[in-house]
A and B are shown apart, each in its own frame.
Chain A
Amino acid sequence: MNNYYPKILGILLLLLILPGQLLAQGRRISGRVTSAQDGSSIPGVNVVVRGTTQGVSTDADGNYTITVPGDNAVLLFTSIGLVPQEITVGNRTTINLQMQEAVNELAQVVVTGYNTAQKKDITGSIASVSSERFKEIPIASFDQALQGQAAGVQVTQSSGTPGGGITVRVRGNTSISASNRPLFIVDGVPVEDGALSGRDFGGQSDNAFSLINPNDIESIQILKDASAKAIYGSRAANGVVLVTTKRGKTNQKTTFTAEAQRGLTDVVKRPDLLNSAELLELQREAVINAGENPDRLGLIKGITDGINTDWVDAILRKGVYQQYQVSATGGNERTRFYLSGNFRDEEGVQLNNRFTRYTGSLNLDHKATSQLSFGTNLTLARAKNKRVKGDNFLDGVYSAAVKSLPYYSPYNEQGKLYAPNDANYPGFPNFNPVAQAVLPRFDTYSVKILGGLYAEYEFIQNLRLRSKVSIDYNNVTEDNFEPSSTAIGGFLPSVGGKGYGVFINQNLSTFINSNTLTYNTILAGKHRLNGMLGLEVLQRTQVSGNLQGRLFPSDDFTYITSAGIVDNGSSARLNSGLLSTFGEIRYDYDERYLATITARYDGSSRFGRSRRFGFFPSASLAWRISGEKFMERFRFLNDLKLRTSFGYTGNERIGDFQFLGTWAAVTYSGASGTGPAALANATLQWERTREANIGLDASFFNGRLNVTFDAYSNLTDNLLFAEPIPVTTGFGSVQGNIGSVSNKGMELTISTVNIDRVIRWNTDLNLSRNINRVEELASEEPLFRGYTANGVTGTNVIVPGQPLGTFWGLKFLGVDPATGDAIYEDKNDDGRISPDDAQIIGTAQPKLFGGLTNRITWKGFDLSVFFQFSYGNKVLNMSNTSFINNGADLESNQTRKAMQRWQKPGDITSVPRYVYQNTYNNYHSSRFLEDGSYLRLKNLTFGYNLDKRWVSRVKASSARIFVSGTNLWTLTRYTGSDPEVSTLDGSTAAQGIDFFTFPQIRTAMVGLTVSF
């Protein structure tokens, strides 16, 4: 550490002195280049004094400063893709300029982390998603907006829960035990991702991003290769998602926009379950097959099936979705602003489930002098999430309703909900799902403040120091109570039977200070140089506390202050930090030969002293073939750029203090002591990903056909991994850096303007193929993940040579027509079926995924049709181990398919016979693994922009009405409710499991947008 700082200091000083030598005599002109189309600033525009080799290029905000010899000097503004302009200086000292796009898309501005650039100058692989793509889709969080919109980005919504978890993967999974989430950066701040709440509800968690209003977002960039990502060093291995919020534009009159959306939601598909009579017949058969008397078990015809309740209908409803937003934006030469307020309310399809959010945001930029500018961004959000239990929770709502026996009723004759002490209470294991939905209070309140202040000062011409201080503050409170009329609060004596209250408060705050020094210049007319050096400090603090209370005097007292016993209280604080320097040099010659070198040196608190610092370099080269003389004859080709990159990135997200050998507090008979918690590994270090990428950007026919192709090969080694060790050592695992995982793949993005007349039709297509493979592990022994299952060790396995997310189980060969029993492959030929016969049965990784959007506009009308698909992935329909349980127990309802069971010798079927309490036929096997491929009409929007003449009568500048539907149609062979599913929200090794997971929802809505 001590040797390290003087070095940085030295470099910083050198950079300051160097340009000092370049100070030339003359007049100083400064200004800003913006787009004529939308007023946004354009970086990387060449500004050259005509007749000289003296020039600069514009910076991230389109600013430039140049020294000219005198009044007669003429400034030449050029950039491929923009219409060049010549400006005579005259006596001005400020020259702001608007430039016209010459070729579609080329001048598009891309945020590259601490900098911005025009798309044409990018040498790495970056995908952009503009707000146009998602503004009329009722998404709750911006990560959802990425689904099917960017090549190489795989997005899976874990369930249909409002405000629920979403899995985002950029170019595959790199890690077994550390996080696989990309680094999400909003306006320069690495924001909290994943679940905020301290309570999981059976697998489905909440989503921190649901506190950021997607309507405030201008654009999202996804950094995909080493060249683009290495600037984020130790956190970049899983890709980086940069979110930029809306800011005011220069010289734009203040515009007010009001938007309203309102719609209805429903599940995409309901399971087909048996009614009482059918189920009773099946259960009686199972009991008789087991040689017992079904009447003695209470399965009596005419009595047991006297009630027939459709539990799924009982707990579902049509939800109402609504969102309203008012915003104002505008600006002059010196000050720009964006201000918005938004209200969103989504009623869940499950009874009592609701997500309500209020957000507000203010972005302000001010240019005080030609050298000094400053500004702020501020986002405030508050959400209330009324949650319900699901998935792996027996006392869930949907998860219990689908299993519940139709023999019971939710209400008694007086219309009162059956409670634990009533004779007709369904009881363990499914309880009364309607009561489970309606009676508990699972309110989650969350507050987010994301704010930053920045100042930028130009010390010397085009040498700018920008310093920004930001915080991301999140507070989440779980205010939970389950009254004595619910399963936990009243049925389970283990918690006392008199109410159960939980209170959790978590405070997660990140403080970050980023300082960057940038310099742009053009040397000898054609050598363009762009340098950036940065220093960043990040500190994250997590303070949390929770309490659980039991034995409440009555259900009128629902807060823990009234609890008879308060137990399992805890509080904790966790700090982590990152201290980094980073730099980037971009160079090009004549915009034909481009090179970028990027590196970051990170120090992280998550590693032991000896391995605390890591260096992550990358380099990339690009060749604009279309800039060569010999290409001039291909007039239809506007741009053709070949790029290649190589570099290293890391993953430091393994949790804190993992390198320490530790003892933790334990209790015994009222006394406190310490017990061993973890083994030490002082050399624990980052996961490192070596990335190579080769890509091609091409633009044809004046930008009407744009193609981007990328191929990559990444290898992650030093995998952070809790190596399982025999417990004869006293421990079950030790943290280490063992093994490697590779991701290889190809991505293709094509956007076309098919027709461009009165009717305009354009198409965007993206396709991705990623091959994930575990290359090396500590041992050949399979590592089990996911759930434990009947007759096998686990549902998922990690083994070398296979991808992450590989399914494990017995191989189901069919049903013996003679006996009706399942036949499994006896893999080890020992004559018996045992856990040793389990094998790899499939993978959750798709072979191909992508999205296709078609947009057609005609006069004021527009139609957008967005399909999204996943092909070649398997889904483990684990719900079927209960839904088609072959009589293993009598406690859950069965699906229609169960009626196909084997009944008599000679029956040919894929469903084994039903035998009460026989688990053999219900062993976890490939019988439960299904093709999860799907093609989905993710969104269809039809809109109409009202004629300006009508609009202006009400003093409005524009008005638009639209109807939009999501998840309207799905093509799939999957027999469960929905193939887009993951009960273990966010899991990598055990993705794609359907375990009573609440299916995706379908939304139909209308919207109105008016601007003044």
Chain B
Amino acid sequence: MAPALPGRAKSDLMKRYTKLILLTLITLVSCREVLEPQPVDLLVDQLALNEPADVETVRIGLYSSLRGMAAPMIIAGDFTADYIQHNGTFTDYRELGTKQITAANGAVSALWSAMYRTIYVANFIIERLPEVSGVRDQTRRQVLAEARFMRGFAYFVGAHTYGAVPKVTNTDQTANRNIGRTPKAEILAFALEDYQAALADAPDEAASAAYVSKNVVRAALARYYLYQKNWAQAEQFATQVIDSKAYTLESDYQTIVTADFTDESILEVGYTVSDDPGTSTFGLNNILVGRREVIPSNQVVVALISPEAGTRRSTITFNSQQLKGSDNGWTVRKYGSADEDNNNIVLFRLAEMYLIRAEARAQLGRLSGANGALADLNVLRNRASVTALTSGSQADILSAIERERIYELAFEGHRWYDLVRTGRAQAVMTAFSPNWNSRYELWPVPQSEIQRNPALKGNQNPGY
């Protein structure tokens, strides 16, 4: 091969360089595409709430977080008490069923997490919404009222479930990582402030029982004061809700069991068939009907099928095929199954308002007559096709109200809270389970929270 001419070699080289440069350029162009792909299913933080159109989506997010609290709340209210027996394999439910609840229980941390997630979204809205320009004043006031209601409700549930809990009032990450417990009374006072603020700005009527209205706040206040034993206030707010005529009792109790959005529903968190919690660990229809992880305890079965319960026995159903071993064959029906589209969880309904008023009046000594406890009680007994009560001592009537709350509100998350607030927990629960201990009048603070939050170290509820 002859030696190449220097000139030609050079031009050859130039050509090659050009090719190389081109190659590099092609790569350069695609750099952005390669290194900065955009997520398709996520919204970056800063964009979550910065223009009027975002308000509605974040509001739905707020309700969605409230919905997250609902199932664990029912689990706290009913599974901690004497309504259920364990029939499955999950440790969490075995602990609840056999009354051997530990701080490591999954339901215990599920409610705690859901509660603080709700508080986070509420605080986020309370902090950010005032700064978003262009939002209609009415919308702004309404959404702020909803946020404050949710926060108040979360703290109300938290205080009665865990006692003293950390009081989180902002979205500051550093401060909220190391935050101690605030006494129960202070938490409840804070919840009351939120309720009162919400009452001022909540809309008179909501689009459906899935959303907050003034009556929802009143119903929450009625329950709040009932738990506080402030009978006069409890009676007053319950009366306001009843007298608003916004709700009417369903004539057939079975409707309460099988349908969503009944005429007496004040607030219920909504699912559709397609976002049903399905087989999730805390999906009520999965736990109660699908897996039958827990089944109604024998004594709640006895109560619900007693003549005094009347049509409310439709809360549970019996299947002889399932009767074997320790399984009594009964199933809770209030949350349907995944395809029945009956998966909404009712947080407040009219019947509870009658029961609150009856209890408040009975406690105030107003037993009979048109404005007496018996009248309210008989409204519900009448609907359930049970004979009316005509007289009784205050103690008799209070006891009748306790029974009536079982019939009417079974598996709606009230029982444990009722037993604890009326001081009946020890008597009822020791009879139910040999493992019962007075420490179970409060749930433990989740083990994981104590480990992660230095300010909670050594501050577990007594006995756990």
| A537 interface contact, C-beta 8 A | yes
Q: Residue-by-residue, is A776-804 near B (CB-CB < 8 Å gives 1, otherwise 0)? A: 00010110100011111100000000000
Q: Which residue of B lies closest to A605 (CB)?
A: B35
- Residue from the list A494, A538, A565, A726 in contact with B449, Cβ < 8 A: A726
A676 and B102 in contact (CB under 8 A), knowing A727-B116, A781-B451, A919-B94?
A: no
Would you call A793 and B23 a contact (CB within 8 A)? Answer: no
Chain B residues whose CB sits within 8 angstroms of the CB of A539 once the complex forms: 30, 33-34
A917 within 8 A of B: yes
Tell me, yes or no, whether B37 is within 8 Å of chain A by CB: yes
> What residues on B are CB-neighbors of A23 within 8 Å?
9
Task: Please name 10 pairs of A and B residues whose Cβ atoms are closer than 8 Å in the assembled complex, sorted by A.
Answer: A537-B27, A579-B31, A603-B31, A660-B42, A665-B41, A673-B57, A725-B173, A784-B448, A788-B92, A888-B94
With known contacts A579-B27, A727-B112, A674–B37 Cβ distance under 8 A: no
Chain B contacts for A550, CB-based, 8 A: 338-339
Most buried by B among A465, A670, A920: A670
Closest A residue to B16 using CB positions: A459
Q: Name 4 extra pairs, CB < 8 A, besides A661-B46, A890-B325.
A: A8-B24, A666-B60, A673-B57, A726-B179
Chain A hits for B285, CB < 8 A: 493-494
Q: Give the docked Cα–Cα distance between A496 and B340 (Å).
A: 8
Bitwise interface map of B from 34 to 68 toward A, beta carbon under 8 Å scored 1, else 0: 11110111111111100000101111111111010
A734 neighbours in B (Cβ, 8 Å): 173
Given A16-B20, A394-B89, A565-B273, are A605 and B36 also a contact pair (CB < 8 Å)? yes
> Which of A77-85, A198-206, A567-575, A809-817 is the interface stretch?
A567-575
Distance in Å: Cβ of A550 to nearest Cβ of chain B: 6
Kindly state the separation between the CA atoms of A234 and B106 in the bound complex, as whole angstroms.
Answer: 38
Across the interface, do A728 and B168 meet the contact criterion of CB distance under 8 Å?
A: yes
Q: What per-residue 1/0 map shows which CB atoms of B8-21 lie under 8 Å from chain A?
A: 01000100110011
Tell me the minimal C-beta distance from B330 to chain A in angstroms. Answer: 14
Q: How far is the CA of A282 from the CA of B148 in the complex (A)?
A: 57
**Contacts A568-B278, A579-B27, A605-B36 given; does A663 touch B42 at CB 8 Å:** yes
> What separation, in Å, do the CA atoms of A93 and B1 have in the docked complex?
9
Q: Is the CB of B452 within 8 A of A496?
A: no
Q: What is the interface residue range for chain A against chain B?
A: 35 or more
Pick from A492, A605, A665: contact of B290, CB below 8 A. A492
| Complex contacts, B289 vs chain A, CB 8 Å | 493-494
Q: Is A551 an interface residue (CB 8 A)?
A: yes
Alpha-carbon distance A612/B92, docked complex (angstroms): 43
CB <8 Å contact, A670 and B31:
no
Task: Answer whether residue B103 sits at the interface, using C-beta atoms and an 8 A cutoff.
Answer: yes
B382 contacts A by Cβ under 8 Å: no
A666 touches B451 (CB 8 A): no
B: interface residue count bin: 35 or more
- Interface window among B224-232, B264-272, B421-429: B264-272
Which residue of chain A lies nearest to B455 when distances are taken between CB atoms in the complex? A726
The residue on B at minimum CB distance from A5 is B28
Given contacts A12-B24, A674-B57, contact A495 B290 (CB under 8 A): yes
Known A567-B276, A667-B64; contact A730-B45, beta-carbon cutoff 8 A: no
Asked whether B102 lies within 8 Å of A661 as measured between CB atoms, the reply is: no
With A and B bound together, what is the CA distance between A846 and B102 in angstroms? 33
Q: How far is the CA of A680 from the CA of B46 in the complex (A)?
A: 10
Chain B residues with CB under 8 Å of A565's CB are 273, 339
Contacts of A668 in B (CB 8 A): 60, 63-64, 67, 210, 269-270
- Assembly CA distance A661 to B449 (angstroms): 22
Contact in complex: B37, A575 (CB < 8 Å): yes
- Check B363 for interface membership: any CB of A closer than 8 A: no
> B35 — which chain A residues lie within 8 A by C-beta?
577, 579, 603-605, 612
Minimum CB–CB distance from B65 to chain A (whole Å) comes to 6
Please, which residues of chain B bring their CB within 8 A of the CB of A758? none
Tell me whether B208 and A669 are in contact (CB under 8 A): yes
Q: A676-B61, A727-B117, A730-B119 are in contact. Are A781 and B452 (CB under 8 A)?
A: yes
- For window 306-324 of B, CB contacts with A under 8 Å fall at 321-322, 324
Compute how far the CA of A535 lies from the CA of B121 in the bound complex, rounded to whole angstroms: 46
Q: How far is the CB of A917 from chain B (nearest CB, A)?
A: 6
Within 8 A of A (CB), among B322-345: 322, 324-326, 337-339, 344
Q: List the B residue with the shortest CB-CB distance to A28.
A: B1
> Is B286 touching A16 in the complex (CB atoms < 8 A)?
no
B1–A674 contact, CB under 8 A? no
Closest to B63 in A: A668
* A724 and B448 form a contact (CB under 8 A): yes
Known: A660-B42, A669-B210, A729-B177. A494 touches B286 (CB 8 A): yes
Q: Which residues of B contact A680 (CB under 8 A)?
A: 45
* List of A residues within 8 angstroms of B40 by Cβ: 572-574
- Chain A CB count within 10 A is highest, among B61, B103, B286, B344, for B61
Mask for A510-549, Cβ within 8 A of B = 1, else 0? 0001010000000000000000000101110000000000
| CB-contact partner of A673 in B58, B88, B91, B456, under 8 A | B58
Q: Would you call B98 an interface residue if the criterion is a C-beta within 8 Å of the partner chain's C-beta atoms?
A: yes
Q: Are A724 and B45 in contact (CB under 8 A)?
A: no
Which partner residue on chain A sits nearest B261 by CB separation?
A669
Q: Mark B452-464, 1 if CB is under 8 A from A, else 0.
A: 1100100000001
- In angstroms, Cα B232 to Cα A141, docked, is 75
A593 adjacent to chain B (CB < 8 Å): no
Return chain B residues, CB-CB under 8 Å to A971: none
* Beta-carbon nearest neighbor of B449 in chain A: A726
B449 CB contacts on chain A under 8 angstroms: 726-728
In the bound assembly, the distance between CA atoms of A564 and B289 in angstroms comes to 20
A27 and B1 contacting across the interface, CB-CB below 8 Å: yes
CB distance from A12 to the nearest CB of B (A): 6
Name the A residues within 8 Å of B447 (CB-CB): 793, 835
Residue of B nearest to A916 (CB): B326
A736: min CB distance to chain B, Å: 12
Give chain B nearest CB distance to A53 CB in angstroms.
21
A-B complex: 10 closest residue pairs judged by Cβ atoms = A673-B60, A669-B270, A730-B120, A494-B290, A577-B34, A661-B45, A575-B37, A726-B453, A675-B61, A493-B337
Find A676's partner among B103, B124, B272 (CB 8 Å cutoff).
B124
B7 contacts chain A at the CB level, 8 A cutoff: no
Q: Which of A884-931 contact B (CB under 8 A)?
A: 888-891, 917, 919-920
B121 contact set on A, CB distance < 8 A: 675-676, 730
- Do A728 and B176 touch across chains, with their CB atoms under 8 A apart? yes
Return the contact of B45 from the options A20, A578, A663 (Cβ within 8 A). A663
Contact across chains for A9 and B24 when beta carbons are under 8 A apart = yes
B283 touches A494 (CB 8 A): yes
Measured CA separation A888–B33 after assembly (Å): 57
A669 touches B176 (CB 8 A): no
Tell me whether A729 and B120 are in contact (CB under 8 A).
yes
Q: Which of A8, A427, A667 has the most CB of B within 10 A?
A: A667
Q: Is the CB of B324 within 8 A of A298?
A: yes
**What residues of chain B lie closer than 8 Å to A917, measured between beta carbons?**
86, 98, 326
Is A662 a contact partner of B43 (Cβ separation < 8 A)?
yes
Measured CA separation A493–B272 after assembly (Å): 16
Query: Is A38 located at the chain interface by the 8 A CB criterion?
Result: no
B113 at the interface (CB under 8 A from A): yes
Nearest CB of B to A579, in Å: 5
**Nearest-Cβ distance from residue B61 to partner chain A, whole angstroms:** 4
- Chain B proximity of A202: nearest CB distance (Å): 13
Q: How far is the CB of B217 from chain A (nearest CB, A)?
A: 19
Cβ–Cβ contact A492 & B291, under 8 A: yes
A788 lies within 8 A of B106 (CB): yes
| Whole-angstrom CA separation of A789 from B23 in the bound complex | 57
Contact of B3 with A by CB under 8 A: yes
Q: Are B102 and A664 in contact (CB under 8 A)?
A: no
Q: Give Cα distance in the complex from A907 to B17, angstroms.
A: 88
User: CB-CB < 8 A to B9: which residues of A?
Assistant: 23
Closest Cβ of chain A: how far from B58's Cβ, in Å? 6
- Check B337 against A834 for contact (C-beta < 8 Å): no
Bound form: Cα–Cα A297–B94 in Å? 18
A677 CB–B CB distance under 8 Å? yes
B200 within 8 A of A: no
